Homo-oligomer: A and B are copies of this chain.
Amino acid sequence: MAPVTELTVGQVAMRSGVAVSALHFYEARGLIRSHRTSGNQRRYGRDVLRRVAIIKVAQEVGISLAEIGEALASLPEGRTPTRDDWNLLSTAWRDGLDHKIAQLKKLRDGLTDCIGCGCMSIDKCPLRNKGDRLAREGTGARRLIAP
């Protein structure tokens, strides 16, 4: 029982849960690849499901297609990714992911702390002083020239 190696767009769409138009789009952007039948129809290798899965998860957490594309570019064409391939992709993202996780926690815990501290003492709020650096220099008039 040989495995089915080739998938049509429709099959990939169904399995991955993304629209056919989106798959066309990803292909145009170089995120996935296909070869064509004699009748000019797309056929995908099974590795495309992996790629699409990664695209979806990455997108859900706010990584742009451009970034995803760059990362996926490090994966070999056609061949099933090896340990080293994943290693590359992973380390390329780890820092960004860690940063995002930290941001998310800051927001969640920031709000938590705001509740905890009642936010009457605004200075203790962890959400404070994000891009409001000048405010720390005191209240009142201040320079209008950028630092």
CB < 8 Å neighbour of A103 from B10, B54, B57: B57
The closest CB in chain B to the CB of A117 belongs to B83
Chain A interface residue count, CB cutoff 8 Å, equals 61
Mark A110-132 against chain B: 1 for CB-CB distance below 8 A, else 0. Answer: 11101100111010000110111
A66 at the interface (CB under 8 A from B): no
CB < 8 Å neighbour of A127 from B54, B103, B108, B128: B54
Mark A71-111 against chain B: 1 for CB-CB distance below 8 A, else 0. Answer: 00000000011110011011001100110110111111011
Contact: B131 with A53, CB < 8 Å?
A: yes
Q: Is the interface of A mostly helix, strand, loop or mixed?
A: helix
Could you tell me the distance between the alpha carbons of A110 and B57 in the complex, rounded to whole angstroms?
Answer: 10
Contact: A115 with B87, CB < 8 Å?
A: yes
A61 at the interface (CB under 8 A from B): yes
Contact: A127 with B94, CB < 8 Å?
A: no
Of the candidate stretches A21-29, A32-40, A137-145, the one touching chain B is A137-145
CB < 8 Å neighbour of A111 from B93, B135, B141: B93
Contact: A119 with B61, CB < 8 Å?
A: no
CB < 8 Å neighbour of A61 from B52, B104, B144: B104
Since A16-B132, A50-B122, A56-B131 are in contact, a sample of 10 more A-B pairs with Cβ atoms closer than 8 Å, ordered by chain A residue number, is A10-B144, A15-B131, A49-B135, A57-B106, A57-B130, A58-B107, A61-B104, A80-B119, A90-B112, A93-B107
